[in-house]
Amino acid sequence: MTDSNKPRYAFFDGDFVPFENAKVSVMTHAFNYGTGVFEGIRGYWNDDHQRLYLVALREHYSRLRKNSAMMCIALPYTVDELIDMTVRLVTMNEFSSDVYIRPIAYKSSEQIGVSMEGVADAFTLIAAPFGNYVDIDRGLSVTVSSWQRTADNAIPGRAKVTGNYANTALVKNEAVMNGYDEGLVLNHLGHVIEGSAENLFLVRDNVLLTPGREEGILEGITRDIIIRLAAAELDCATIERPIARSELYYADEIFLTGTGAQVAPVTQVDRRKVGNGQVGPISRALQKMYFDVVRGRNNKYASLLTPAETSAAGQRAPVSVTAH
């Protein structure tokens, strides 16, 4: 992280602290064993409104609470408290650009041994300026990974567990090393289910196809928004069902969705053109609608957004900061 986009404050160990004080020990359980659950959340700066719009906070924090319970991590904050904390953090940092927000609930004791019983829990929240994660304009070139997604009864992908992202890293890294933008993963049944860190949509005969929740996907929040927008604004139905690998090569359009990836059209799979090799009309239309929604330009979906007055003009009373 460069000095210019380094955040000033983080939430760590129960307090807002200077960012450089938010540090864990090398013996921390989660650092050693991957026993954390996390979220990726975005905030979009709207220059006309001079405010930051935080996207789907309630949905993200509800998911985090479920995932914490799954991993036996006690999270001592309600969804409303987590939302307030996030607004406060971005406000303290006075961001006036798009941001990425990362809450992590994790096993924090400094001890050797993987059992989670009796191991203390902690929560931290950081936010930093952030742009695009993948190219969203030219159309991505993707490949089916030789790595498989961890099965639900190995490490559930649904749970967004930090340790599971070693699998994600192998998929993404293999794709990049082989000259692709992204990798797609198969589950243990050989069905194609996701991008390395994105949900997958195919368009065939004006219908959206996406793997169902039982396929081992992360239950993506962007995925839900896209299904809703497609139905309401394009009159385009989504069928949730297993997707065979070869269906990738027969699709009219393919796109990936995620908080990081946003809505990212795919124009090549395994060096084969998707459709005519150009970004398709449904992918483009959904991408435009998505950005209108998240940047606060479409009032119909305003309930998905939490506004934060982070600019000097909208500043609130100063908050106290504890140095650790």
CB hemisphere CA count around 125 (13 angstroms): 25
Closer residue to ligand PMP (CB): 54 or 197: 197
CB hemisphere CA count around 9 (13 angstroms): 22
Q: Residue 41: what residue type?
A: I
Beta-sheet pairing, 238-240 with 207-210: parallel
The C-alpha atoms of residue 256 and residue 311 are separated, in whole angstroms, by 32
Q: Tell me the closest approach of the beta carbon of residue 67 to ligand PMP, in angstroms.
A: 11
Instruction: Kindly name the residue from 160, 172, 273, 300 that is annotated as catalytic.
Output: 160
Closer residue to ligand PMP (CB): 124 or 187: 187
CB hemisphere CA count around 178 (13 angstroms): 18
Structure tokens given for 78: 């309600």
Cβ atoms within 10 Å, residue 179: 9
By the rule CB under 6 A, 40 interacts with ligand PMP: yes
Closer residue to ligand PMP (CB): 17 or 227: 227
Structure tokens given for 192: 């194609």
Per the listing, tokens 């949905």 go with 59
Among 198, 216, 243, 304, binds ligand PMP (CB under 6 A): 198
Among 29, 65, 172, 223, binds ligand PMP (CB under 6 A): 223
Which range binds ligand PMP by CB under 6 A, 43-51, 114-122, 213-221, 271-279? 213-221
For the chain, state the CA radius of gyration. Answer: 20
Per-residue binding string, ligand PMP, 239-268, x by CB under 6 A, is ------------------xxxx--------
Q: Tell me the closest approach of the beta carbon of residue 69 to ligand PMP, in angstroms.
A: 18
- In this structure, what are the phi and psi dihedrals at residue 17, rounded to the nearest 5 degrees? -135, 160
Does 160 qualify as catalytic in the annotation? Answer: yes
Q: Tell me the closest approach of the beta carbon of residue 198 to ligand PMP, in angstroms.
A: 5
Among 43, 220, 280, 296, binds ligand PMP (CB under 6 A): 220
- Catalytic positions, written as ranges: 160
What are the residues binding ligand PMP (CB under 6 A)? 40, 157, 168, 194, 197-199, 218, 220-223, 257-260
